[in-house]
Structure 1
């Protein structure tokens, strides 16, 4: 009987499989072996797509004549830096005494692709191949994965989508980067003070650049509107009502109003207040008292995008850093697979959730909450909640703590422990009831004019006690106001203390942070802040949970985008804006989030067997060929030169402004130092 070969994606994962398989033999050069089994590993990608020059000497030089470049058969090669490990893995795959191969690379599209490339390059034939698909690296889950391993052929559609994703990125990158560089690179170089400029284009990368540039230009073009809101304050109640025009008002449909809540001109607002103050007697008639309870449910569990956004806000770290920490926690068995888009659990996991909870009894910070969960018995009803939904899961369920590996937590960094705490508390919160608020709304009339105010106080903490308590001071202030207003009755008449104006102003759109940009990518270009609404959005976003952080990292590296590391705010660079304009005036579909998301959705259709790989491949090549030929006939360089000049002027003005601010700060500091010296 032959041996089984287990091939993992990384050495650390291979070690975990070796422990489970009780392979205690001495480590060989690139693998571990016992009498029954062999465990080996890749080191990420071992094989990659060949550069165009491998297809012929004519492709080495960038030339319009060789575009579009659309080979019928693609060439692959071993990555030189890892060629030694490839030879080890290839040799094991083809060893005569190996009759069954267990594919244990990461359970996702990219992990599938890593193995398939190795198998293809090693020309493996005549072996039984099984796919191990796991959600965590705990011993129990690894055993289940091996026990339930399916024939590798059942993942052929996933493999096809992985190959297509790579071909798509390769063809778009090579064709469009060469095309736009040849057509526009020289024209842009003068503005950037460079000898030459390579214009990098990518299926996802260029779309993300477009999102950031569009947002920056919306901010730049924003015109602030100042308006004046009338307020009426009632005596002794701490009740300040905001005015809204109504049909009975003397100002109904009058010109000069701002959104029915104020005036565009201060003099109009002052006139409104002056006239209303003449009301005799100056009192308010309570027209409506409305009391209701509002529930706020615990949020859905973390997927990678949500975790990256939260860590960007809380800890000011980049999505790439968050993924590295999450991957570390996963490899230490502390959490489940992090590269997931799902925010719910499967029914099968829900049945066994007591194991995760029991394991967390070893995590001191969780113990008080675990005791309450046991007392409430809420873990037994998890399957009936919105946190369990098999239909919302593709490859993996949400990120949750396994309850294992806790001994390794003390040896991790502070930020790693902080992120683990976040994941644990989000997980524990789903076993708690909703937070309940009492909301009291009051409407009153002064003469013909209508005013309203509302107050909300927390009645039951519910899940908010798990790591997210609201501030006591704010709650006490709201509670005091609620108590005063609660005695009001409809029809009551109360003296008005004052009627006055409050200035307001419209705000420009917010710049993306690294975390909110990840969320916008997940939602196909829409920055949806509302948690409940995001949960309802269906369909693929831009990129995948596994790639979004890397895409941002590349945009920062090539200096198309800039990241403020202290605030995590993302802005375009001058070069980034110029590249954006090149694409906008040559291949504008590359900037369209909906189109980019539709490509990702198409890859999912291939993975699910809903469309064939051949159909997707044909449409991809048609798109590249058509857009390449369009650009060749554009001849719009002069028009772009004018656009470059405008962008350059903006950045020169911004640079001068920053220098003036810096000088002012420096002179102010110098004056302070002189004064301090004089005082001394």
Structure 2
């Protein structure tokens, strides 16, 4: 009998087939003497929409809400991956397959994807679970030698199903209820228990910025003849003075006193800082957003490529910033793998015989499903690095630096504070002297933790006199709160328990839905749209409160801990839905928002070239109606400054190209002629 291994993606399946000596490539799987390796393509199975349970639900009616369907009757094969599901199902039920290895992504959602496939395929064969932290040959061999029992993941599956069913129920019921009550002029409104509270926070910040009135204020400085400055203190803090008369009073008082300033305190303290904790996905997304402007989903996609294609990165969808003690025993091999290029000298300075398992970095208690992001054990990291794009290199190098830094000594520096007195007023000066760079030698990016003044102060003693060269009032203005950026929005979502490291990018992307966008991204900053603001302004507090998702996630953790059942959790959600939808029904005539409604031509017979579903026109694009099932086929109505008409779209879909068109615009303002062609579902130019 053979063992069937089911990976989550074809690339991972190919890696597993290699270590299991499977060489016979077939359609959708690779076979060997003892093993057969096949794969999903992400999700093969999902939950049915209401109209798939009963065609009468295709028409949206308030009286049908809220919907509840039997979970056993709710699973469906997704249309765009149906062919691969049939391959997997046939293999599961093949007579010579005696057992199955769940080799999906090692996490809550990865486990759910696999279990739903087995359920819909009618599997009755015994299973084991592969839990791998990377896709290198060494890591996979180790994981296959240490397969786990499904019983270890029973509560994880309960948590995953509760998450999927809860989000489905809230999304379907509230989206329909809100569209039918406050979405006037047929405006389709989308609700999500993560995306909508996030939109609320963005709208709130936009309102704070727009209502903000800047106020001028002043700091008063003394310029000492020894070449440094002191800033006025009041009640032990830097004095921000808003009263101009008070400023002039201080200026006159200080200028009228011709005596030197007296040193009241001279405090010099030696300090040190250990290397920061290792990256998890959220910290990596924040860093890449801050330094390069990469959106969260972009950083995740790059990390996934480093993990799957190059096999140089450990499992990317992690929330942990520490390593397990198991990994401590092989950490030297991970370090040696980084010995290439500019990191060779850095690795050479690490004494592998003296590495200790510092609890700040090696701590089983701080590791959840997966350890922190680190480079893998790789035989030729230099070769892999040479093939990477610039963004891939940026992300990978950040992880390499973070990892190598923890084996370097602390950063040592001296902080000096001088407090002086003049004319009865106290002034403060602060400076920093670097004594030893320590781990900072590994980094070549600006360390934003060190925003302290780098001014070097002279060595003084209490009672020392300082001559004053001048007094100056420094003009300043209060600033509004900062807009959320591609970096700070991840910190905002972490703080408010919105999503996970793996899902935050997708949550933001949903709010930027091109059909009805609630937010937009301009120069790495997020702004709410008019629709987004109108939506939040009329939405009941119970549906936009940022505590919604935190409460939801806390209850999921209670399920995984065995403290509450999945059924009790879902029943509580249903009770809340009945109450809130009842409220929406009662106030539907008094509130409402609108935007340009979607244009859905009933006579259109355009079909998506990727999945075969109807293509519909809206105000900005021609898009596939199967977008909810994952199809992203879209043709925008403008291309290089030229309008794309329905007749052009018909030519593209039926023939794969248009005739040569005139008047496309380049960035410099000049024009060019070209035909539009479809390449893998995307519109490109064909010149000449």
Normalised TM-score (structure 2): 0.82
**Length, aligned pairs only:** 587
Partner SS for 2:349? helix
Offset from partner CA, 1:515-534 (integer Å, 9 cap, x none): 2212221221xxxxxxxxxx
Paired with 1:562 and 1:206, the residues of 2 have a C-alpha distance of 15
Partner in structure 1 of residue 630 of structure 2:
none
More helix per residue: 1 or 2? 1
1:603 is the counterpart of 2:556: yes
Offset from partner CA, 1:416-459 (integer Å, 9 cap, x none): 11211111011111111111111111111112111111111211
Partner SS for 1:301? coil
**625-634 vs 335-344, which moves further:** 625-634
Partner in structure 2 of residue 517 of structure 1:
489
Offset from partner CA, 1:445-490 (integer Å, 9 cap, x none): 112111111111211101111123769xx99x957x43xx21x221
Question: 1:429 aligned to 382, 398, 405, which one?
Answer: 405
Partner in structure 1 of residue 284 of structure 2:
307
Paired with 1:514 and 1:264, the residues of 2 have a C-alpha distance of 34
Partner in structure 2 of residue 616 of structure 1:
569
Paired with 2:385 and 2:230, the residues of 1 have a C-alpha distance of 52
Paired with 1:386 and 1:123, the residues of 2 have a C-alpha distance of 46
1:357 is the counterpart of 2:313: no
Contact 2:411–2:436 (Cα < 8 Å) also in 1? yes
Q: What pairs with 1:14-33 in structure 2 (closer than 5 Å)?
A: 14-25=13-24, 27-33=25-31
Offset from partner CA, 1:520-579 (integer Å, 9 cap, x none): 21221xxxxxxxxxxxxxxxx211111111111111124111012xx3111111111111
Offset from partner CA, 1:347-392 (integer Å, 9 cap, x none): 111221011012222x2221111011127x55x21x1230122112
Partner in structure 2 of residue 138 of structure 1:
136
1:578 is the counterpart of 2:546: no
Deviation at 1:607, TM superposition (A): 2.4
Paired with 2:588 and 2:180, the residues of 1 have a C-alpha distance of 12
Contact 1:543–1:597 (Cα < 8 Å) also in 2? no
Contact 1:438–1:458 (Cα < 8 Å) also in 2? yes
Partner SS for 2:487? helix
Partner in structure 1 of residue 360 of structure 2:
386
Paired with 1:318 and 1:66, the residues of 2 have a C-alpha distance of 39
Q: What pairs with 1:317-466 in structure 2 (closer than 5 Å)?
A: 317-331=294-308, 332-361=310-339, 363-374=340-351, 377-378=353-354, 380-381=355-356, 383-404=357-378, 406=381, 407-466=383-442
Partner in structure 1 of residue 272 of structure 2:
295
Q: What pairs with 1:31-180 in structure 2 (closer than 5 Å)?
A: 31-73=29-71, 74-125=73-124, 127-180=125-178
Paired with 1:467 and 1:305, the residues of 2 have a C-alpha distance of 19
Contact 1:229–1:262 (Cα < 8 Å) also in 2? yes
Paired with 2:576 and 2:201, the residues of 1 have a C-alpha distance of 22
Instruction: List structure 1 segments (4+ residues) > 4 angstroms apart after TM superposition.
Output: none
Contact 2:22–2:35 (Cα < 8 Å) also in 1? yes
Change in 2 beyond 3 A, CA 1:34/1:500: closer
Question: 2:543 aligned to 578, 583, 590, which one?
Answer: 590
Deviation at 1:246, TM superposition (A): 4.7
Deviation at 1:596, TM superposition (A): 0.9
Paired with 2:303 and 2:365, the residues of 1 have a C-alpha distance of 25
Partner SS for 1:452? strand
Paired with 1:103 and 1:470, the residues of 2 have a C-alpha distance of 43
Partner in structure 2 of residue 668 of structure 1:
none
Paired with 2:289 and 2:529, the residues of 1 have a C-alpha distance of 21
More strand per residue: 1 or 2? 2
Partner in structure 1 of residue 203 of structure 2:
213
Paired with 2:290 and 2:239, the residues of 1 have a C-alpha distance of 32
Partner in structure 2 of residue 631 of structure 1:
584
Deviation at 1:136, TM superposition (A): 0.5
Change in 2 beyond 3 A, CA 1:246/1:21: closer
Partner SS for 2:542? helix
Question: 1:467 aligned to 443, 450, 459, which one?
Answer: 443
Contact 1:341–1:398 (Cα < 8 Å) also in 2? yes
Q: What pairs with 1:476-487 in structure 2 (closer than 5 Å)?
A: 478=454, 481-482=456-457, 485-486=458-459
Offset from partner CA, 1:203-252 (integer Å, 9 cap, x none): 111111111111111111222121122222222x11211111259xxxxx
